[in-house]
Amino acid sequence: MNSIALQLNKSLEGTQAGSLLSEMGKRFFFPRGIIAQAAEASKKATKYNATAGMAFNNNQPLILSSIKNSITGLEAKDYITYAPTPGDRELRELWLEKIKIKNPSIKEIHTSLPIIVPGLTSGISNCADLFLNPGDNIVIPDLHWGNYDLILKTRKEINIHTFKFFRDGRINIQSLKETLISSAKNGKVSLLLNFPNNPTGYSPTKSEAESIAQAIKDVALMDIKILVMADDAYFGLFYEDEIYKESIFSLIANLHNNVLAVKIDGATKEDYAWGLRVGFITFAGKGLTKEHTDALEQKLMGSVRSSFSSSPKLSQNLVKKALLSLDYSRDKAEFESLMKARYLKVKEILEKRTNGKRLKELPFNSGYFMTFETTPGYNERLREELLEVGVGTIALGDTSFRIAYSSVDKSNLEDLFSIIFSVSDNLQ
Amino acid sequence: MNSIALQLNKSLEGTQAGSLLSEMGKRFFFPRGIIAQAAEASKKATKYNATAGMAFNNNQPLILSSIKNSITGLEAKDYITYAPTPGDRELRELWLEKIKIKNPSIKEIHTSLPIIVPGLTSGISNCADLFLNPGDNIVIPDLHWGNYDLILKTRKEINIHTFKFFRDGRINIQSLKETLISSAKNGKVSLLLNFPNNPTGYSPTKSEAESIAQAIKDVALMDIKILVMADDAYFGLFYEDEIYKESIFSLIANLHNNVLAVKIDGATKEDYAWGLRVGFITFAGKGLTKEHTDALEQKLMGSVRSSFSSSPKLSQNLVKKALLSLDYSRDKAEFESLMKARYLKVKEILEKRTNGKRLKELPFNSGYFMTFETTPGYNERLREELLEVGVGTIALGDTSFRIAYSSVDKSNLEDLFSIIFSVSDNLQ
């Protein structure tokens, strides 16, 4: 194994992070190669810098006119050149600052500096690379984003163990805990949580969030090391007072020496920038010092460098500029109130409905979606039938039928649901 | 294994592509899930589309003002929404058209439609996922981009076997062929070629290119299946008449039934758009029909979806717009002549030099770089010494010392090399 990798492994020895590393994770390191030498030169090579695999003229990067003419308010060097492997430093610092504002209870907790990846999928995939071996077990809710299967099972041959997400309209924490315990293997288990949950649009209440954390702690107390990944894609769109308004990461970040918390989030949904591909990975865990999280960052940079090299720089700088802009808070508040109004409208429609009662809505209180539970196979038949009348919906698994009210204007929701209900009523 | 994956494997049965798939490659498929259903809805859901995990209002995506105000000449829906998993269809078609213009000898050869990935590293990494198992052997030149080691060896545990790139100032094709033969395992071997080569800046002459193809064919005739990846990052910057002006992919794309050719290229260097992260993967091989390449595209889409989901859409549309713009050819010609002038200047400096003779230049005729060969360890000492006088260079391995003349103005080259030579002469 490479000597830098060994050194990083040594730094992590005795920590939960060190114990949880996959074989690939153990091998990862950030080489002292071209990128490191170029970084050194960017500080010291004040006369001539002949390191970069880019083309410069008069200290400016070459750039096609059409591209240059499409961008306003950014210098070419701020978007056409390579971004650093871990991402733009200022954006990473700014994002961490925002994380701590949105999650005040971890204000004083040490975390790594977020590393930038091209979207949430890349965040999950790179974390799986770092921490999960083929054949390892991971626990996720039975109601989950379909891409988890492709990332974890198809790509990485990780065994997915699902827990029952709901019981009696609440998160089934007993099922979560039992599944964690029964899935532990060689003193290790992983958990991937996603709140607001896709597809249901459900986020835990304060007491549910605390019970989840307690369940994880109980398992940790059984001398089981636990990786907890918080997929916070839809973070922030919380429509009810009772919801726990921080990421579950807050309650895990300093929970127990056996628990490593990873926050995977991004501008994708939080900042309405789906196609820009700006995601972040942040580590924390009880007992982890800066030396430890630095080692994890170096390992993750090895994963980044060996899978996509660096994230799109233009996207990073657009997000940074947006976060710093005067319009930002106003825009976000406006969009959130738009989404909340739709949520309330959907709730009202469901409450008042007189037909379509075959469709049972699952609990929802946040995010972009709501999901009906159907009899097996009915969801796909209903989806196909609705397409025939020009209405697009999503059928997931055998029994989930998802509506993204995020993409339908409030004024159309009444009509949308009335079509869904009547098509459902007419479907044998 | 998933039934769609099995079906794709069946489609590829009996072809070189089918034989070359890795275990992961065999598992890959593109699920009929959210993305496929959303694609269906985008055609049929003319009334309401409640599929997308995005937020729309009045048929327009929500977008932060700051981001919107930074982009000119593109609609928000063309850059802030998700790109399709395989990338923007028009850009894929346009890129293939350009490939065929730049490589006229494959004009009539069937290839897949290029799939878009966020840069060349992602291209290589995703191809390795598709075709290489841990423990497989891959052949690359001894002089190669350092990141190959991280992608192939560190990430994927593939055994790297190097051939001697040069002998007597020419590509050592005998070493290439012998290494291919000795590296074949279970009737299979892989080869990764990179022209213009990083770090040397060397591209094969017409006769060298033909000899390379012949060597590969000779090995194929021994009933060995060969995956040939052409890393064409620096394609197009050819400064000498004798150079083979097409990609080596042209000579492999229809070479033999045992050979699968993969072209990995991108806007990164070819279109001076390093930070945008727009790369492409294209397949071809003798005997491969559209049915076969469609199956490969579906497999690659599974790899894409499970590693980064989709490539940045703004970047894709900026590249597309640039390729279609009236300035494009003029800009490219201008940049190429700038680079060629630097190349000629470097050649002149080396020819006329009276000092620094300890540094032996390796052959170069193309791309961004030239490389000196040094005694072992001297390269790093020289690099460090040069940093002290404000000059940034790259030391690779034990004996390579790389100068990116692409990033130094022609008017400064004389001074740059004179500093390098005199620092070298003064270094014990």
**Cβ separation A409–B325 shorter than 8 A:** no
- pLDDT confidence of residue A65: 97
The reply to whether A297 and A347 lie within a common domain is no
Confidence of residue B268 (pLDDT cuts 50, 70, 90): very high
| A266 neighbors A164 (Cβ within 8 angstroms) | no
Q: Is residue B288 part of a domain?
A: yes
The reply to whether A275 and A191 lie within a common domain is yes
**Residue A188 forms beta bridges with which residues?**
A185, A225
Distance CA B202, CA B194 (A): 9
**Average of per-residue pLDDT across B245-272:** 98
- pLDDT confidence of residue B32: 84
| A424 neighbors A360 (Cβ within 8 angstroms) | no
Q: Which run of H or E residues covers position B160?
A: strand B159-163
The reply to whether B125 and B221 lie within a common domain is yes
Mutate to test the interface with A, among B66, B98, B148 (most CBs of A within 10 A): B66
The reply to whether B334 and B291 lie within a common domain is no
Query: Which domain range does residue A418 map to?
Result: 328-426
The reply to whether B289 and B382 lie within a common domain is no
Q: Which run of H or E residues covers position B166?
A: strand B166-167
**Average of per-residue pLDDT across A86-111:** 98
Residue B409: which CATH number?
Answer: 3.90.1150.10
Q: How far is A270 from chain B (nearest CA, A)?
A: 11
- pLDDT confidence of residue B364: 98
**Cβ separation A310–B119 shorter than 8 A:** yes
The last residue of a domain, from among B324, B351, B377:
B324
**Cβ separation B146–A31 shorter than 8 A:** yes
Distance CA B64, CA B198 (A): 40
Chain A's closest residue to B393, CA to CA, is A51
What type of residue sits at position B426? N
- pLDDT confidence of residue B33: 83
Q: Which residues contact A236 (CB under 8 A, 6 or more apart)?
A: A102, A270, A336
For the cut 80, the answer to whether the pLDDT of residue B25 exceeds it is yes
Distance in angstroms between the alpha carbons of the first and the last residue of chain B: 62
The reply to whether B386 and B306 lie within a common domain is no
| Residue A344 three-state SS | helix
Q: How far is A234 from chain B (nearest CA, A)?
A: 10
Chain A's closest residue to B134, CA to CA, is A24
Dihedral sign from CA coordinates of A317, A319, A323, A327: positive
Distance CA B274, CA B385 (A): 29
For the cut 80, the answer to whether the pLDDT of residue B308 exceeds it is yes
Residue numbers in B near A91 (CB within 8 A): none
Distance CA A311, CA B81 (A): 17
**Average of per-residue pLDDT across B300-329:** 98
- pLDDT confidence of residue B400: 96
- pLDDT confidence of residue A32: 84
Q: Any idea of the CA torsion for A385, A389, A391, A396, to the nearest 10 degrees?
A: 10
The reply to whether A234 and A334 lie within a common domain is no
**Cβ separation B79–A305 shorter than 8 A:** no
The CB-side HSE value for A71 (13 A sphere, CA atoms) comes to 27
- pLDDT confidence of residue B221: 98
**Average of per-residue pLDDT across A94-98:** 98
Confidence of residue A129 (pLDDT cuts 50, 70, 90): very high
Residue numbers in B near A395 (CB within 8 A): 37
Of A37, A63, A73, the CB nearest to B70: A73
Establish, for the pair of chains A and B, how many residue pairs have beta carbons separated by less than 8 Å.
414
Residue numbers in B near A56 (CB within 8 A): 406-409
The reply to whether A267 and A183 lie within a common domain is yes
Distance CA B77, CA B59 (A): 9
Residue showing tokens 């002292």: A32
Q: Is residue A76 part of a domain?
A: no
For the cut 90, the answer to whether the pLDDT of residue A153 exceeds it is yes
Q: How far is B33 from chain A (nearest CA, A)?
A: 7
**Average of per-residue pLDDT across A159-181:** 98
Q: Is residue B404 part of a domain?
A: yes
**Average of per-residue pLDDT across A129-151:** 97
Residue numbers in B near A306 (CB within 8 A): 121, 125, 147, 150-151, 154-155
**Average of per-residue pLDDT across A337-364:** 97
**Cβ separation B53–A275 shorter than 8 A:** no
Q: What is the mean pLDDT of chain B?
A: 97
Neighbours of B58 (CB within 10 A): 6
Neighbours of B357 (CB within 10 A): 10
**Cβ separation B308–A125 shorter than 8 A:** yes
Distance CA A286, CA A282 (A): 14
**Cβ separation B81–A404 shorter than 8 A:** no
**Cβ separation B390–A81 shorter than 8 A:** no
- pLDDT confidence of residue B223: 98
For the cut 90, the answer to whether the pLDDT of residue B218 exceeds it is yes
The reply to whether A211 and A122 lie within a common domain is yes
Q: Is residue B22 part of a domain?
A: yes
% of chain B with per-residue pLDDT over 90: 97
Q: Is residue B196 part of a domain?
A: yes
**Cβ separation B335–A55 shorter than 8 A:** yes
Residue numbers in B near A408 (CB within 8 A): 48-50, 56
| Residue B5 three-state SS | helix
Q: What is the mean pLDDT of chain A?
A: 97
Distance CA A51, CA A54 (A): 9
**Average of per-residue pLDDT across A173-179:** 98
Confidence of residue B153 (pLDDT cuts 50, 70, 90): very high
**Average of per-residue pLDDT across B34-44:** 89
For the cut 90, the answer to whether the pLDDT of residue A34 exceeds it is no
For the cut 90, the answer to whether the pLDDT of residue B34 exceeds it is no
The reply to whether B310 and B389 lie within a common domain is no
**CA neighbor of A151 nearest in space, from A130, A180, A168, A129:** A129
Q: Any idea of the CA torsion for A198, A201, A204, A206, to the nearest 10 degrees?
A: 140
Distance CA B33, CA A242 (A): 32
Token reading at A47: 């006369």
- pLDDT tens for B85-112 read 999 999 999 999 999 999 999 999 999 9
| A187 neighbors A224 (Cβ within 8 angstroms) | yes
Q: Is residue A13 part of a domain?
A: yes
Mutate to test the interface with B, among A3, A78, A308 (most CBs of B within 10 A): A308
Kindly provide the residue ranges of all beta strands, DSSP E only, lying in B56-135, ordered along the sequence.
56-57, 60-61, 115-117
The last residue of a domain, from among B295, B324, B353:
B324
Q: How many domains does chain B have?
A: 2
- pLDDT confidence of residue B140: 98
The reply to whether B299 and B258 lie within a common domain is yes
The last residue of a domain, from among A281, A309, A324:
A324
ipTM rounded to 2 decimals = 0.97
Residue showing tokens 């040094």: B374
**Cβ separation A28–B368 shorter than 8 A:** no
Q: Which residues contact B14 (CB under 8 A, 6 or more apart)?
A: none
For the cut 90, the answer to whether the pLDDT of residue A183 exceeds it is yes
- pLDDT confidence of residue A33: 83
**Cβ separation B58–A409 shorter than 8 A:** yes
| B151 neighbors A304 (Cβ within 8 angstroms) | no
Confidence of residue A47 (pLDDT cuts 50, 70, 90): very high
| A225 neighbors A132 (Cβ within 8 angstroms) | no
**CA neighbor of A26 nearest in space, from A45, A11, A46:** A11
Distances (CA, A) of A170 to A208, A245, A405: 8, 17, 22
DSSP A22-57: -HHHHH----SSHHHHHHHHHHH-SSEE---SS-EE
Q: How far is A91 from chain B (nearest CA, A)?
A: 15
Chain A's closest residue to B410, CA to CA, is A57
Distance CA B312, CA B118 (A): 7
Chain B's closest residue to A271, CA to CA, is B64
Q: How many residues does chain B have?
A: 428
Distance CA B133, CA A73 (A): 46
Confidence of residue B331 (pLDDT cuts 50, 70, 90): very high
| B196 neighbors B235 (Cβ within 8 angstroms) | yes
For the cut 80, the answer to whether the pLDDT of residue A364 exceeds it is yes
Instruction: For residue A347, report the phi and psi dihedrals to the nearest 5 degrees.
Output: -55, -45
Q: How far is B188 from chain A (nearest CA, A)?
A: 22
Counting Cβ atoms within 10 Å, is residue A102 exposed (0-12), middle (13-18) or buried (19+)? middle
Q: Is residue A52 part of a domain?
A: no
- pLDDT tens for A290-326 read 999 999 999 999 999 999 999 999 999 999 999 999 9
DSSP B266: E
Chain A's closest residue to B279, CA to CA, is A308
% of chain B with per-residue pLDDT over 70: 100
- pLDDT confidence of residue A428: 75
- pLDDT tens for A226-235 read 999 999 999 9
| Residue A340 three-state SS | helix
**CA neighbor of A154 nearest in space, from B353, B304, B386, B201:** B304
Residue B153: which CATH number?
Answer: 3.40.640.10
Mutate to test the interface with A, among B23, B200, B270, B314 (most CBs of A within 10 A): B314
The reply to whether B250 and B271 lie within a common domain is yes
Distance CA A320, CA A88 (A): 9
Distance CA A137, CA A159 (A): 5
Q: Is residue A80 part of a domain?
A: no
Token reading at B159: 């055994």
- pLDDT confidence of residue A344: 98
- pLDDT confidence of residue B36: 87
**Cβ separation A73–B71 shorter than 8 A:** no
